[in-house]
């Protein structure tokens, strides 16, 4: 969908329809930034671990409106490709990359289950909170590793529950995102990405900071202040703002039961030397 199609879709909406929309649809129509877990800090943390150069290639799978693709392209000289199945989100991503005047980022519509790239094409494959939305998970993970070159890094950033959420809250979140999100811990994701062709070498865990009601209102106002939304009829604007606020409050509650982690897997060949005296990093508390 291009920006004219988005404007047409917005103009024909009524408040009742908006009240029943799931989060992805609202994201596509409003250009809600839908920032990845950890936002730019996650991208920078990965770049500290994975040295890239001008001829490196980065793939951002499930890039949505392009936040991380643009961050990668802004911090590294590598060429970055963002892919997503949602054409509306990609239209916004292209607009943002154009505005940022970054020549080293491009976007392609495709499914993670059939990436239109040859084997061993990328030095870094980045997947932030996407795999949980894909039913054929093993096939998607197979694709991530297929397009990764030897010694390349798969960076996955899954959200997981570190304590049990109330059943009613969890059901509401599943309805909001339009997908089954089983209550899973971090071990599930370790199993999901484990493969004989790569080794996990980095595993860092983060918590979400609970946001105040005022901050949520401020953020919804910020999203609604975009030019393509400000000219809408007052009732449509109010319904969109209400729906956004509902999702933010719901996710804020849900994330208090969740954490996310940055997992980095290096594709083989591994170093064949055995290590006798293994080490572990000490934290300040040690
Ligand atoms: C929760 S968003 C995460 C977006 C972004 N990575 C981030 O962290 O903000 C999930 C994204 O995955 C995309 N997606 C879901 N299934 C997909 C598939 N089979 N192939 C490609 N993208 C997919 C959705 O369209 C959406 O943009």
Task: Return the pLDDT at 3.
Answer: 60
Average pLDDT over residues 3-10: 68
Percentage above 90 pLDDT, the chain? 73
Across the chain, what does the average pLDDT equal? Answer: 92
pLDDT, one tens digit per residue, over 224-254 is 998 889 888 888 999 999 999 999 999 999 9
| Residue of 84, 87, 134 to mutate, ligand 1, most atoms within 8 A of C-beta | 84
Distance of CA 87 to the CA centre of its chain: 16
pLDDT, one tens digit per residue, over 159-199 is 999 999 999 999 999 999 888 888 999 999 999 999 999 99
Percentage above 70 pLDDT, the chain? 97
How far apart, in Å, are the Cα atoms of 15 and each of 19, 216, 235, 237? 6, 21, 7, 9
Three-state SS string over 134-174 comes to CCCHHHHHHHHHHCEEEEEEEEEECEEECCCCCHHHHHHHH
Task: Please name the residue whose Cα sits nearest to atom 10 of ligand 1.
Answer: 130
Q: Enter the pTM of the model.
A: 0.89
Average pLDDT over residues 86-112: 94
- Supply 59's token pair: 């793939």
How far apart, in Å, are the Cα atoms of 168 and each of 173, 175, 182? 9, 11, 13
Task: Return the pLDDT at 221.
Answer: 93
Task: Return the pLDDT at 77.
Answer: 92
Buried b (16+ CB within 10 A) or exposed e, 94-120: bebbeeeebebbbbeeebbeebebeee
- Supply 199's token pair: 């080794």
The atom of ligand 1 lying closest to the CA of 140 is 19
Of 43-47, 56-60, 108-112, 266-270, the least confident: 266-270
| Residue of 37, 41, 85 to mutate, ligand 1, most atoms within 8 A of C-beta | 85
Give SS3 for 117.
coil
The atom of ligand 1 lying closest to the CA of 177 is 1
pLDDT, one tens digit per residue, over 56-97 is 999 999 999 899 999 999 998 999 999 999 898 899 899 999
Task: Please name the residue whose Cα sits nearest to atom 11 of ligand 1.
Answer: 62
User: Using 50, 70 and 90 to split pLDDT, how confident is the model at 210?
Assistant: very high
Q: Which residues line ligand 1 (CB under 6 A)?
A: 34-36, 62-64, 67, 84-86, 89, 111-113, 128-130, 133-134
Task: Quote the CA–CA distance of 183 and 33 in Å, as a whole number.
Answer: 25
Contact of 173 with 254, CB cutoff 8 Å: yes
Task: Return the pLDDT at 272.
Answer: 77
Contact of 176 with 247, CB cutoff 8 Å: yes
């Amino acid at each position: 969908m291009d920006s004219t199609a988005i404007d047409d879709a917005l103009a024909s909406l009524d408040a009742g329809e908006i009240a029943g929309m799931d989060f992805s649809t609202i994201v596509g129509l409003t250009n809600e930034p839908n920032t990845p877990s950890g936002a730019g800090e996650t991208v920078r943390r990965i770049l500290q671990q994975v040295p890239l150069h001008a001829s490196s290639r980065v793939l951002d799978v499930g890039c949505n409106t392009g936040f991380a693709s643009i961050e990668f392209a802004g911090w590294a000289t590598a060429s970055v490709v963002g892919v997503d199945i949602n054409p509306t989100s990609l239209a916004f991503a292209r607009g943002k990359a154009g505005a940022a005047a970054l020549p080293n980022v491009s976007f392609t519509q495709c499914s993670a289950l059939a990436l239109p790239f040859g084997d061993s094409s990328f030095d870094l494959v980045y997947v932030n909170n996407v795999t949980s939305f894909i039913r054929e998970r093993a096939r998607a993970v197979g694709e991530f590793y297929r397009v990764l070159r030897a010694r390349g890094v798969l960076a996955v950033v899954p959200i997981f529950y570190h304590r049990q959420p109330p059943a009613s809250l969890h059901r509401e979140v599943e309805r909001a995102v339009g997908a089954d999100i089983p209550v899973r811990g971090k071990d599930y994701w370790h199993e999901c990405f484990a493969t004989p062709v790569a080794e996990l070498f980095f595993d860092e865990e983060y918590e979400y900071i609970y946001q105040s009601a005022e901050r949520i209102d401020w953020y919804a106002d910020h999203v609604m202040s975009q030019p393509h939304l400000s000219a809408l009829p007052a009732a449509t604007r109010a319904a969109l703002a209400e729906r956004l606020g509902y999702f933010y409050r719901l996710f804020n509650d849900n994330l208090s039961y969740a954490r996310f982690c940055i997992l980095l897997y290096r594709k083989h060949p591994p170093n064949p030397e055995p290590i006798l005296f293994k080490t572990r990093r000490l934290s300040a508390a040690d």
